[in-house]
């Protein structure tokens, strides 16, 4: 007898407690043990943050995206302050890509491709993260929509002639089933949780980097070395990938300069903190 147990709710709870992750779903043959899985298949169940475009390529014959012989989809997990809208109404969230469409190529050109997560989730429930207007973390699963540019490139179910109907009736399970016979490794019906946010040691890394920079903003050069001002200095990931903690990818920035970085329009800096940084800047400028 086969038991298919879905541990996604437990995995969410584990993630929020920042404890060690567990497999999200186990296929168990009672009396026969657990089916062996290739490590890459286990990773794809959780999602893999892609840091090298060459690892993702469209299948030569089918056009769908592949990773190490597996059919995959790509999506941006970090929804910033729009995460609430995505959770409430998935269609308002970031789109999921299934082909090397014009949108992906543009993101590559802008140097933001690394923000994507690869998964073989066929459920339609995608794990997303972000923050509310007060900067508090928000996460959950959203029913994200497929990218229309991808559907057009694949001409999935004759999309070019029936755009509205094909997009309206699109189902992730049926999409994967359409290409399933062409892949030896089949996608799972459920994907788990991959934390595309900061690494577990980020607090230590960022604190150490700020000390190395003497608590000075590397852009406006405001000195925030007084202990009560430390909170006003952030550490910014230049390429937008929160797991890339290489020193060449980090910059110490005051809250104002950080919020001015490309793609950071969502960042909230209170009126009080903005005024405080401005006062410190003016005072230090007069001393020079």
User: DSSP code of 187?
Assistant: P
Structure tokens at 139: 């996460």
pLDDT in tens, 259-282: 888 777 667 788 888 999 999 999
Q: What's the confidence (pLDDT) of residue 187?
A: 52
Asked whether the beta carbons of 153 and 103 are under 8 A apart, the reply is: no
Q: What's the confidence (pLDDT) of residue 282?
A: 92
pLDDT in tens, 211-252: 999 999 999 999 999 999 999 999 998 877 777 888 888 999
Measure the CA–CA gap between 242 and 212, rounded to whole angstroms.
19
Through-space distance between the first and last CA atoms of the chain, rounded to whole angstroms:
78
Structure tokens at 188: 């799972």
Q: What's the confidence (pLDDT) of residue 43?
A: 76
What are the residue ranges in the chain where pLDDT is below 50?
Answer: 1-5, 21-36, 188-196
Measure the CA–CA gap between 120 and 186, rounded to whole angstroms.
9
Q: What's the confidence (pLDDT) of residue 256?
A: 93
> Which positions ≥6 away from 131 have C-beta within 8 Å?
80, 81, 83, 137, 138
> Which positions ≥6 away from 86 have C-beta within 8 Å?
79, 92, 93, 94, 128, 130, 142, 144
Q: What's the confidence (pLDDT) of residue 30?
A: 41
């Amino acid at each position: 007898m086969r038991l298919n147990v879905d541990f996604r709710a437990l995995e969410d709870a584990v993630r929020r407690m920042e404890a060690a992750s567990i497999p999200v779903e186990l296929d168990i043959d009672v009396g026969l043990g657990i089916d062996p899985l290739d490590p890459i298949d286990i990773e794809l169940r959780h999602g893999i943050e892609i840091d090298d475009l060459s690892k993702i390529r469209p299948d030569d014959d089918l056009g769908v995206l592949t990773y190490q012989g597996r059919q995959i989809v790509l999506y941006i997990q970090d929804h910033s302050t729009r995460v609430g809208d995505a959770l409430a109404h998935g269609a308002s969230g970031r789109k999921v890509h299934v082909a090397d469409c014009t949108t992906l190529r543009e993101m590559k050109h802008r140097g933001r491709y690394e923000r994507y997560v690869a998964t073989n989730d066929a459920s339609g429930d995608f794990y997303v993260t972000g923050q509310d207007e007060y900067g508090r973390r928000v996460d959950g699963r959203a029913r994200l929509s497929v990218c229309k540019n991808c559907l057009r490139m694949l001409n999935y179910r004759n999309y070019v002639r029936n755009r509205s109907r094909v997009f309206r009736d699109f189902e992730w399970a049926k999409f994967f089933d359409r290409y399933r016979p062409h892949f030896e490794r089949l996608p799972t019906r459920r994907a788990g949780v991959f934390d595309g946010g900061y690494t577990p040691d980020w607090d230590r890394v960022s604190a150490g980097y700020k000390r190395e920079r003497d608590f000075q903003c590397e852009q406006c050069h405001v000195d925030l070395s007084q202990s009560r001002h430390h909170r006003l200095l952030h550490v910014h990931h230049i390429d937008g990938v929160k797991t890339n903690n290489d020193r060449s990818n980090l910059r110490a920035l005051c809250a104002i300069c950080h919020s001015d970085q490309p793609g950071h329009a969502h960042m909230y800096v209170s009126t009080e903190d903005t005024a405080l940084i401005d006062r410190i800047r003016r005072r230090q400028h007069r001393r020079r």
